[in-house]
Chains A and B, each alone.
Chain A
Amino acid sequence: MTRQRQKGYKLGYDFRTQFELKLMLFPAVILIFVFNFAPLFGLLMAFKSYEPSMGIGGIFTSHWNNFQHFTRVFHNFQFWPMVRNTLGINLIGALVGIPVTLFFALMLNEIKHPKFKSLIQTITYLPHFLSWVIFGGLFITLLNTDGIINFLLMEFHLIDKPLQFLADPQYFWGIAILTGLLKDLGWGAILYLAAMAGVDQSLYEAAAIDGAGRLKRMLHITIPGILPTLMVLIIFAVSGMLNNNFTQIYVLQNTLNLPASQVIDTYVYQTGLLQFQFASATAIGLMKTVFALLLLVGANTLSNKLTKTGLF
């Protein structure tokens, strides 16, 4: 077996084979250099007095400006509310989302009727496949002043006049967190379910013989069994704390809820592409990326120390 394999490997070393493989690889190498690495030069803008009128060459020829963009960003009155919104929505979202998804997966794992189980899964996957435009749009419709939620609250005399859910900043975090949770609940549970399927079944039988009920088995076998998966998801949540919800927030955002809904990504879009402040928008984007990377590395180190499992 080994000898045969080595023969095959030797065959692979000829010029024609390597040329063919290179032919397969190179288009992607070019695309990665163009679309991923070339924009990295643009980050220079964050440290320079760059004006959009200078064109592409201006990125390299404009003057260094002693971190002016960064200091200006820190003194901007919009900066700290924006950081607070970004962290608040994502942090509370993760603090609520991870346990609820885990709970949902544990419940689902306890359902032994296969048809019912697959029905639940099919239905709860549905929102994941719709865009935020549609899913957000649905909730905007439901939450309107003449929408069904206000209608029901009025019918049951819980409120006297319709609540301005989307026009009032105080509801925005809640709406963003709940819609985010509902959209990916079923999808997020797939990972936990897959991890649960990998837990040694004989452990359950042994525990049942020892008289452990379903709750006990869940607590002492299932949860420790999926701990590595859980840790990976927590690391992802921590590193994603500063980004990846532009598509959600932008749909739900309007001028009235801006104090609670302006996050880093929407701010970069607004100042950069709508107001053409390329350099300072790049500076904010760069700061975000650096902090996200630090969070990723930090969470991973902590996880490696505490649970001996991590992403890398």
Chain B
Amino acid sequence: MVGGKSAGERVFTSLTILIMVILMVITIYPFWFSLISSLNSGEDLLRGPVFLWPRELTWASWEKVLADPGILKAAWITASRTIIVTVISMLYTSMFAYAFSRSYLKRKQFYVIIGFASMYFSGGLIPSFMLMNWLGLYDNYLVYILPNIFGGFYNVIIFNANYKGIPDSLFESAKMDGASEFKIFFRIVIPLSKPVLAALSVFTAVNIWNDYGTTLYFTQSNSLQTLQYVILRLIQSNRAVENMMNTVDGSNLAVSQLLNSSDGHGLVTAHTIELAAMVIASIPMIVMYPFAQRFFVKGVLLGSVKE
């Protein structure tokens, strides 16, 4: 590296490292705090917060959350929709992008126009709600799947940029040999697009796993609740209890039952239940993202930085 090692440079370096360390602590500590609080006995927590390690270690809250049928059902709904949407939408969107990227596609302008229009124009919440109702998707598991099958034109742009890197001669020789477009896509394009597929799969999976809006807007039955939505209700009703506002969401039976059953027990309180549910629901994302990390920069770069 260029540059000498003057006193000024050394101060600069230490200051940078100091700021970074503080920032890392600020970022990571809330998670650590929730983890140890959820593993502490609930009654003990009332005496004061724990800081570095649980005072009275117990898995009771975790066991309670993991044994709750409502939460298990929500976890199943969340996981299944995440996997189904990620697989289908990645396969289909990359296929769309392949057909879109072919320079010999006739009337390409049409797809360009509807693609860009779909990025900037939408009816908004209420018209979408009416549409879902009309289509019979309201309070139906398919509302989690159907609107997400096409991963959006933004993903198409990223795929398109990626396909430009594949040499034309590969496509040409395959065509000469009489390969169909589908064969070219599955045999040549997919194997050569693994990094971008991986990056966009991670983005899609994270978005779907974390989405609670669809549940909030378009469903009402308990059997369709997602994990994020259950936790949202836990937080909201918990806080309501705390503020003594008496506005616990009575309509949400699963949550109020969970809260009622947890009150009065020494090891588990509504508070530790909430924390345990949050920690458990974030585990899949926390486990996944370091593995996927090496694809991020490439994936984000292709889509967002202007050439």
Residues of chain A whose beta carbon lies under 8 Å from any beta carbon of chain B: 4-5, 7-9, 11-13, 16-18, 20-22, 24-25, 27-29, 31-43, 45, 56, 59, 104, 107-108, 110-112, 116, 119-127, 129-134, 136-142, 144-148, 151, 166-167, 182, 185-186, 190-191, 193-195, 198, 204-205, 208-209, 213-215, 228-229, 232, 246-247, 250-251, 254-256, 265, 268-269, 272-273, 278, 281-282, 285-286, 288-289, 293, 309, 311
With A130-B210, A213-B8 known as contacts, the answer to whether A228 contacts B306 (CB < 8 A) is yes
B92 within 8 A of A: yes
Total contacts A-B at CB 8 Å: 290
Can you spell out 18 A-B residue pairs with CB atoms less than 8 angstroms apart?
A12-B102, A20-B180, A25-B96, A31-B150, A35-B128, A35-B147, A42-B127, A116-B17, A126-B31, A131-B281, A134-B228, A140-B239, A193-B297, A213-B3, A213-B8, A246-B213, A254-B243, A285-B126
Q: Are B124 and A142 in contact (CB under 8 A)?
A: no
Extra contacts, 9 of them, besides A39-B130, A125-B289, A133-B229 (Cβ < 8 A), are: A8-B176, A42-B123, A110-B16, A119-B24, A121-B293, A133-B278, A141-B274, A146-B49, A281-B125
A233: shortest Cβ distance to chain B, in Å? 9
B221 within 8 A of A: no
Q: Are A36 and B300 in contact (CB under 8 A)?
A: no
Beta-carbon nearest neighbor of A29 in chain B: B114
Return the CB mask of B219-234 against A: 1 if under 8 Å, else 0.
0000000001101100
> Which stretch (B59-67, B167-175, B254-262) binds chain A?
B167-175
In the complex, chain A residues whose CB is within 8 Å of the CB of B20: 107-108, 111, 116, 120
With A112-B1, A247-B213 known as contacts, the answer to whether A272 contacts B129 (CB < 8 A) is yes
Q: Are B37 and A141 in contact (CB under 8 A)?
A: yes
Find A137's partner among B24, B129, B210, B278 (CB 8 Å cutoff). Answer: B278
**In the assembly, what is the distance between CA of A13 and CA of B106, in Å?**
8
Return the CB mask of B167-202 against A: 1 if under 8 Å, else 0.
011011001100011100100000000000000000
A215: shortest Cβ distance to chain B, in Å? 7
Q: Are B235 and A214 in contact (CB under 8 A)?
A: no
In the complex, chain A residues whose CB is within 8 Å of the CB of B175: 8, 11-12
B149 within 8 A of A: yes
In the complex, chain A residues whose CB is within 8 Å of the CB of B1: 112
Interface centre among B33, B125, B213 (most CB of A within 10 A): B125
Q: Which chain B residues (58-116) contact chain A, with CB distance < 8 Å? A: 92-93, 95-96, 98-100, 102-106, 111, 114-115
Return the CB mask of B19-34 against A: 1 if under 8 Å, else 0.
1100110111011011
Q: Are A20 and B181 in contact (CB under 8 A)?
A: yes
With A25-B111, A167-B243 known as contacts, the answer to whether A39 contacts B127 (CB < 8 A) is yes
Q: Are A182 and B243 in contact (CB under 8 A)?
A: no
B7: shortest Cβ distance to chain A, in Å? 11
In the complex, chain A residues whose CB is within 8 Å of the CB of B102: 12, 21
Q: Are A126 and B28 in contact (CB under 8 A)?
A: yes
**In the assembly, what is the distance between CA of A120 and CA of B293, in Å?**
13
With A107-B20, A108-B20 known as contacts, the answer to whether A28 contacts B212 (CB < 8 A) is no
Q: Are A194 and B297 in contact (CB under 8 A)?
A: yes
**In the assembly, what is the distance between CA of A43 and CA of B123, in Å?**
6
With A28-B92, A110-B16, A126-B286 known as contacts, the answer to whether A9 contacts B128 (CB < 8 A) is no
Residues of chain B whose beta carbon lies under 8 Å from any beta carbon of chain A: 1-3, 6, 8-9, 12-13, 16-17, 19-20, 23-24, 26-28, 30-31, 33-34, 37, 46, 48-49, 51, 92-93, 95-96, 98-100, 102-106, 111, 114-115, 117-118, 120-131, 134-135, 146-147, 149-150, 168-169, 171-172, 175-176, 180-182, 185, 206, 209-213, 216-217, 228-229, 231-232, 235-236, 239-240, 242-243, 245, 247, 271, 274-275, 278, 281-282, 285-286, 288-290, 293, 296-297, 300-301, 304-306
Q: Are B243 and A42 in contact (CB under 8 A)?
A: no
Q: Are A147 and B49 in contact (CB under 8 A)?
A: yes
Q: Are B130 and A139 in contact (CB under 8 A)?
A: no
In the complex, chain A residues whose CB is within 8 Å of the CB of B245: 255
Q: Are A131 and B210 in contact (CB under 8 A)?
A: yes
Find A39's partner among B49, B128, B172 (CB 8 Å cutoff). Answer: B128
Q: Which 6 A-B pairs rank lowest in CB-CB distance, beginning with the nearest?
A: A42-B127, A39-B123, A12-B104, A131-B210, A285-B124, A39-B127
A34: shortest Cβ distance to chain B, in Å? 8
**In the assembly, what is the distance between CA of A16 and CA of B130, in Å?**
39
**In the assembly, what is the distance between CA of A270 and CA of B103, in Å?**
47
Beta-carbon nearest neighbor of B229 in chain A: A133
**In the assembly, what is the distance between CA of A114 and CA of B306, in Å?**
26
In the complex, chain B residues whose CB is within 8 Å of the CB of A127: 27
Q: Are B278 and A138 in contact (CB under 8 A)?
A: yes
**In the assembly, what is the distance between CA of A167 and CA of B239, in Å?**
10
With A4-B169, A20-B182 known as contacts, the answer to whether A247 contacts B212 (CB < 8 A) is yes
Beta-carbon nearest neighbor of A276 in chain B: B126
With A125-B293, A190-B296, A213-B8 known as contacts, the answer to whether A24 contacts B305 (CB < 8 A) is no
Interface centre among A116, A119, A285 (most CB of B within 10 A): A285
Q: Are A17 and B235 in contact (CB under 8 A)?
A: no
With A131-B228, A138-B34, A141-B37 known as contacts, the answer to whether A39 contacts B124 (CB < 8 A) is yes
Interface centre among A35, A116, A195 (most CB of B within 10 A): A35
